[in-house]
Structure 1
Amino acid sequence: MRGGAAALTLGALGVVFGDIGTSPLYAMKETFSEQHGLTPDPASVYGVLSLVFWAITIIVSVKYVLLIMRADNRGEGGIMALISLNQGASMKTSRGKWLLIALGVFGAALFYGDGMITPAISVLSAVEGLQVAAPGLERFVIPIALAILTTLFVFQHFGTGVVGRLFGPVMLVWFSSIGVLGLIRVIEEPSILKALSPTYGVAFFLDQGSIAFLALGSVVLAVTGAEALYADMGHFGRPPIRRAWFGLVLPALLLNYMGQGVLLVSDRGAAENPFFLLAPGWGQIPLVLLATLATVIASQAVISGAFSVTRQA
């Protein structure tokens, strides 16, 4: 890979994948929370992992990366690009055309709503993670969160290239770390890879019924932020985003989810926080700090997407 392509890929890693890249922090934890009444027995763990794998494969890899990213409007992606393409397409009736435009505007409104709340929630939850490493900083949580949010928006003035250069290396370390943590567990129990079969997901629904349906609401957390891949396409182009996804992000996410599955099968009590319990005791505080940085960066994916939609409008 040449220097320019590598720089674009690293930039995309820092700007585009922050949101979906931090999903392992809470996806499995929420799925097996007490509210759902789902116990982490082997059948349920394998079933949930199967659903996570196929959700990521179908929604992100196939739908967004391979299909929707081909529908660009002069290199730009996002919901506004789809609306523009629709306006240029021939429709049999004007009613059908306006219906599609209305759906596009509705989708843009939902995206803006996500863009309004996600940065604040993500940054605040990230800073609250500092309480684990330094409880004395508790009273500074809100001021620090406000300072980080202000800094994030100030950096937008300099463009996503600057932001990508700053955040790219951090996300590179993040994805490498969560991938290694998961790989260690998978090596210990390689049979967990059987969960890649869709039969486990089907069996999970047949056995658990309504509980499985409720758990599915948490499983979709594994694909939050997928729309940023398309919305930010105008910043980095299609090839760098695809390289980053298939070359690092996708393998790291899948390995981490599988590693959490191994941990849950061997220790049901780990359902309280399977992500951080993947790390050895000495590595949990550094992992909290790294997760804090990564979760802060996650808000950048939504911010960049919102800026892209606004510019296209």
Structure 2
Amino acid sequence: MAIPPLPSILFEPLVHSALAEDLGRAGDLTGDAVVPAGLHAEMTFVARQPGVIAGFDLAALAFRLMDPAIALRIARPDGSAVDAGEAIAIVSGPARGLLSAERTALNFLCHLSGIATATAVMVEAVKGHKAKIVCTRKTTPGLRAVEKYAVRAGGGSNHRFGLDDAILIKDNHIAIAGGVHSAVERARAHAGHMVKIEVEVDTLDQLEEALSLRVDAVLLDNMTPDELAHAVRLVGGRAVTEASGRITPETASAIAASGVDLISVGWITHSAPVLDIGLDVLAKG
């Protein structure tokens, strides 16, 4: 399924900043010294390991900002599952520009493809159940929009994009407010009519209290599959159910089998390993 692209205005500052950081105060000393002016080259992106691709728009922009004459032809677009050794795109144009933008393009592409790949692993782990895999706000500062895009490319869904999306009352909010009831009542008095309220609960007693207050969603934190199944039965469709707490591909299936609607996973953005992608020279002239 095609992934709707991000508006370029959301990632242009990221790519511009990354290139400026790399070029520093004097530009690409190595490229200017070693690569003859006027030389053109053609290079291919190759997946060194299997995974799911995300981030080509950022890679393309890195090359375009470096030299508008560079062209990128994508064979395996974002959201594509690829095999090790598979050629996924070809980039061609002035060789100096290609080499100067290479690392920035690969940094974005490998990082975001790693997130998409990690997400796809989790999505596969809950296949056959209704639960959706969602990300969290545990993202790299400044990269939230593109990292959450990568989650979508991997087949996952997004939780809140920020503190202004919805009200999520967590354990520390409850502790400071003096309890679930107090926290929810204050939230309801403050929230606009379009804002939903979710409450994090650690126990079934807390869950019953939250349900009595007619919240929109409940975050069931660090519960066992049996506890989650019990919680889902208590909810009985009255609220969206979300499981969280150190969930891995090995534990995800049992958690999904409890009947929860969502499984939120922080590590797919904050700790996903990069997908190894190389850029190899095909021709020069």
Q: Give TM-score, length-normalised by structure 1.
A: 0.27
Q: Which has the higher contact order (CA 8 A, sep 6+)?
A: 1
Specify which structure has the higher proportion of helix: 1
- Work out which of the two has the higher radius of gyration on C-alpha atoms and give 1 or 2: 2
The structure where strand makes up a greater share of residues is 2
User: TM-score by structure 2 length?
Assistant: 0.29
